[in-house]
């Protein structure tokens, strides 16, 4: 019941319409990486070419994320979102045309890179928007972030599934065309919604004697800090887990003679993670965010230990599903800690940086896990998963304290999670 109440609070804060556009608008972000891989591999007959195009998309997205987020913080989400939605939709269509026409690889790499550079960043910007709408109400803000995290998990699961189904039943290009439509239409509706900030909102903007806001340019608050660097590192380690598990599942199902089951099994992470996100929202407030981060990191490590020894499809499904239980709590908690420690006027940039961190690390984890699978067998990628999970647990246990992750607008307290009312 607590989770239902939290989500009702979030819906009252954001409105149902914008939540729908937010969910549908972030699907292309999950559809295009696997969609570009399937499209180019099918049309060219080369998995390497497909991987190169998908890699160009992922790297450009990771590089462009923080600058686009910063631009949205400075110029407003509406203006930046409208441009990004239009360019992203056109870039996706350009890649489809280039691949269908069999153009040389550089002519396919260019639109793929543009797709990554122009991603509307609906996930990071929505989290920034919900926090601004909460206006300091920590309960409403936490509920909105939890709900947004669940939408991320739904898109993470549904996007690849939709692309795979369309590629099998219709054509590999169908999923990319649908992604272009969703990016253009839903990205535009999300940007035009009345909740979109149209100008930067710095809480400390001084007021002139006549009551008007002082519009003079002011130095931007510093984003870099030790807590934020630790959160980026935690997200990167989670990305390595994602990439290595994806390769491990693919290699193991191929070894078992069931390669078609890989997508379904990998989707279990998103399914169980979504349920875990709902449970996270129901936790009492006395369980502070640093404590949740530690518990989630330990759970991630515990879930990664059995993976190298899952020798059947059933065992693999159970292992991957258990791993997913630790994912949403980790991500939701790290986004919540970012809201605590990042300057309000650079929150969109901070959220985008977290997404870039996990995207780059996932790409690196995929490459390294593929190398391990080729040389040491299908279980080897899961050893990389365990190593990344162990590093994440050590990092959280050693650094996640209320003193380090206190709110910028409040002095640190030693034990706020255990404080009781007089």
pLDDT higher for 167 or 262? 167
Distance CA 93, CA 213 (A): 43
Whether residue 344 contacts residue 202, with contact meaning beta carbons closer than 8 Å, is answered with yes
**Can you give the pLDDT at residue 36?**
84
Q: How confident is the model at residue 263 (pLDDT cuts 50, 70, 90)?
A: low
61: which 2 tokens?
Answer: 């997205």
Q: How many residues does the chain have?
A: 422
Dihedral sign for Cα atoms in the order 32, 112, 235, 353 = negative
Q: Indicate the average pLDDT of the chain.
A: 78
Which residues lie closer than 8 Å to 206 by C-beta, 6 or more apart?
A: 213, 214
DSSP per-residue letters across 163-223:
HHHHHHHT-HHHHHHHHHHHHHHHHHHHHHSTTS-SS---TT--B-TTS-B--S--PPPP-
Distance CA 171, CA 232 (A): 38
Domain 1-200 and domain 223-408 have a common topology = yes
Q: What is the mean pLDDT of residues 317-337?
A: 85
Percent of the chain with pLDDT over 70: 81
Q: What is the mean pLDDT of residues 9-20?
A: 73
Distance CA 85, CA 202 (A): 26
Q: What is the mean pLDDT of residues 207-217?
A: 41
pLDDT higher for 137 or 4? 137
Q: What is the mean pLDDT of residues 38-62?
A: 79
Among 3.40.50.150, 1.10.10.10, 1.20.1250.20, 3.40.50.1970, name the CATH number for the domain at 1-200: 1.20.1250.20
Count of CB atoms within 10 A of residue 211's CB? 6
CATH tag, 223-408: 1.20.1250.20
Q: Which sequence spans correspond to the domains of the chain?
A: 1-200, 223-408
Where does residue 293 rank: exposed (0-12), middle (13-18), buried (19+ CB within 10 A)? buried
Distance CA 294, CA 316 (A): 25
Q: What is the mean pLDDT of residues 212-229?
A: 61
**Can you give the pLDDT at residue 93?**
96
Whether residue 269 contacts residue 245, with contact meaning beta carbons closer than 8 Å, is answered with yes
User: In Å, what is the CA distance from 379 to each residue of 249, 317, 352, 365, 409?
Assistant: 9, 14, 33, 15, 47
**pLDDT-wise least confident of 52-66, 237-251, 268-282, 313-327:** 268-282
**Beta strand spans in 306-396 (E):** none
DSSP summary character for residue 417: G
**Can you give the pLDDT at residue 285?**
66
Whether residue 214 contacts residue 207, with contact meaning beta carbons closer than 8 Å, is answered with yes
In this predicted structure, the answer to whether residue 72 has a pLDDT above a threshold of 70 is: yes
């Amino acid at each position: 019941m607590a989770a239902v109440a939290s989500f009702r609070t979030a819906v009252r804060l954001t409105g149902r319409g914008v939540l729908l556009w937010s969910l549908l608008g972030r699907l292309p972000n999950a559809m295009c990486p696997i969609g570009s891989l399937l499209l180019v591999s099918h049309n060219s007959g080369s998995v390497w070419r497909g991987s190169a195009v998908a890699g160009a998309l992922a790297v450009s997205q990771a590089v462009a994320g923080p600058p686009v987020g910063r631009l949205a913080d400075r110029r407003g989400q509406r203006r930046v979102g409208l441009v990004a939605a239009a360019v992203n939709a056109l870039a996706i269509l350009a890649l489809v045309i280039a691949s269908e026409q069999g153009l040389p690889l550089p002519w396919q790499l260019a639109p793929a890179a543009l797709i990554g550079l122009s991603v509307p960043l609906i996930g990071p910007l929505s989290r920034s928007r919900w926090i601004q709408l909460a206006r300091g109400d920590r309960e409403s803000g936490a509920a909105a972030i939890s709900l947004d995290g669940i939408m991320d998990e739904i898109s993470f699961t549904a996007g690849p599934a939709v692309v795979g189904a369309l590629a099998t039943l219709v054509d590999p290009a169908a999923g990319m065309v649908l992604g272009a439509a969703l990016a253009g239409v839903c990205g535009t509706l999300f940007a035009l919604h009345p909740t979109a900030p149209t100008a930067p909102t710095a809480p400390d903007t001084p007021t002139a004697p006549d009551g008007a806001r002082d519009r003079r340019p002011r130095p931007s608050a510093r984003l870099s800090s030790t807590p934020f660097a630790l959160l980026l590192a935690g997200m990167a380690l989670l990305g390595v887990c994602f990439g290595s598990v994806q390769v491990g599942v693919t290699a193991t199902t191929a070894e078992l003679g069931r390669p078609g089951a890989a997508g379904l099994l990998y989707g279990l992470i998103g399914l169980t993670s979504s349920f875990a996100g709902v449970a996270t929202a129901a936790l009492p407030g006395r369980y502070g965010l640093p404590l949740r981060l530690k518990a989630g990191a330990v759970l991630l490590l515990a879930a990664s230990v059995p993976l190298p020894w899952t020798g059947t499809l059933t065992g693999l499904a159970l292992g991957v599903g258990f791993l997913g239980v630790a994912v949403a709590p980790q991500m939701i908690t790290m986004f919540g800690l970012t809201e605590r420690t990042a300057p309000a006027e650079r929150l969109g940039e901070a959220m985008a940086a977290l997404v870039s961190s996990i995207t780059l690390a996932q790409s690196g984890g995929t490459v390294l896990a593929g190398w391990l699978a080729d040389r040491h067998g299908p279980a080897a990628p899961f050893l990389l998963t365990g190593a990344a999970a162990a590093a994440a647990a050590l990092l959280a246990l050693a650094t996640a304290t209320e003193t380090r992750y206190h709110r910028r607008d409040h002095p640190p307290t030693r034990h706020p999670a255990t404080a009781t009312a007089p």
